[in-house]
């Protein structure tokens, strides 16, 4: 269901892009804007690991520093049929984690020093499984596509705004519907941002479910999220807000304009969904012929 929702949201973003393109006369400027947006976001996607790791000052994590974490990740990778990612540690007491990289063969998983100190072994395994689920689902690619379309929408809106200021509307019908024009200039970029955030929240739900299946212990991740939420309010992990969607939990304390503009779903809802998965797994293990694993 979350996969279908993601595709639908990407389709909605594309629809916004097509709609705003309708109000621009000619295709030359639209094509240039789309190429610029695509090139910028492709570079961000291709170099996402280096950019994100540098933003959080992450350092390579050597096996001798954390053999337990290496063993956890190796075990989870075998279960998920994934190549071993590069591991990093962020020198911060803010408890968080993230995955980055353009595909499973170029992936990196980073944990903060704070999350290692805060969580027990099962909770930390749940967090690592969540990040590996992002890698397996290629969520960094999904986010790059969403960012490309949203960026193109914003570019088109600016072109139209400058057109109104310096020469009036350049739409094919000589002006177009003024209400539609205002929507294209002011509301379409806002709508694109909201849809982009919705895609990010959907991918978080999918990664939670993937982690629950990978570990067979949804309650451990639910417990970790509860601790991380409390920790984020006390000590947020500060960095460029552009990288907020990467983190396992929103690092900003408080709620900024509610959930509509949040990169992450409500922690309480995530916990409830994980506990529902736990019940489903329990029912399956209780069925006749089940191994109970």
Phi and psi, residue 82, nearest 5°: -120, 150
Which letter does DSSP use for residue 120 in this model?
-
Distance CA 98, CA 127 (A): 9
Q: Give the residue numbers marked as catalytic.
A: 131
Q: Are strands 97-100 and 59-60 parallel, antiparallel or unpaired?
A: unpaired
> CA nearest 137: which of 50, 199, 196, 222?
199
Q: What is the DSSP secondary structure assignment for residue 247, as one 8-state letter? A: B
Distance CA 119, CA 231 (A): 11
Euclidean distance between CA atoms 202 and 9, whole angstroms = 10
Cα 85 → chain centroid: 18
Query: What would the two tokens of residue 257 be?
Result: 């304009």
Contacts of 263 (CB under 8 A, 6+ apart): 197, 200, 201, 244, 245, 250
54-89: burial string, b at 16+ Cβ within 10 Å, e else: eebebeebeeeebeebbebbeebbeebebeebbbbb
């Amino acid at each position: 269901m979350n996969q279908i929702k993601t595709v639908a949201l990407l389709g909605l973003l594309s629809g916004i892009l097509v709609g705003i393109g309708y109000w621009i006369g000619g295709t030359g400027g639209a094509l240039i804007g789309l190429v610029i947006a695509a090139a910028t976001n492709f570079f961000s996607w291709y170099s996402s690991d280096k950019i994100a790791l540098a933003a959080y000052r992450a350092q390579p994590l050597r096996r001798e520093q954390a053999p337990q974490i290496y063993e956890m990740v190796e075990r989870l990778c075998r279960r998920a049929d994934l190549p071993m990612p590069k591991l990093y540690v962020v020198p911060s007491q803010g408890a968080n984690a993230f995955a980055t990289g353009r595909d499973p063969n170029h992936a990196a998983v980073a944990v903060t020093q704070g999350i290692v100190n805060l969580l027990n072994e099962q909770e930390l395994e749940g967090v690592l499984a969540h990040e590996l689920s992002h890698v397996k689902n290629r969520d960094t690619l999904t986010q790059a596509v969403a960012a490309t379309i949203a960026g193109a929408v914003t570019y088109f809106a600016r072109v139209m705004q400058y057109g109104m200021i310096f020469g009036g509307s350049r739409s094919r019908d000589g002006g177009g519907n003024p209400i539609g024009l205002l929507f294209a200039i002011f509301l379409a970029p806002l709508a694109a941002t909201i849809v982009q955030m919705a895609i990010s929240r959907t991918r978080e739900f999918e990664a939670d479910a993937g982690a629950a299946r990978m570990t067979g212990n949804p309650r451990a991740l639910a417990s970790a999220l509860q601790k991380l939420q409390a920790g984020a309010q006390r000590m947020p992990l500060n960095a460029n807000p552009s990288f907020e969607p990467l983190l396992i939990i929103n690092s900003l304390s408080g709620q900024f304009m509610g959930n509509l503009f949040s990169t992450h779903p409500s922690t309480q809802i995530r916990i409830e969904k994980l506990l529902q998965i736990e019940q489903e797994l329990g029912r399956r293990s209780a069925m006749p012929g089940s191994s109970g694993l």
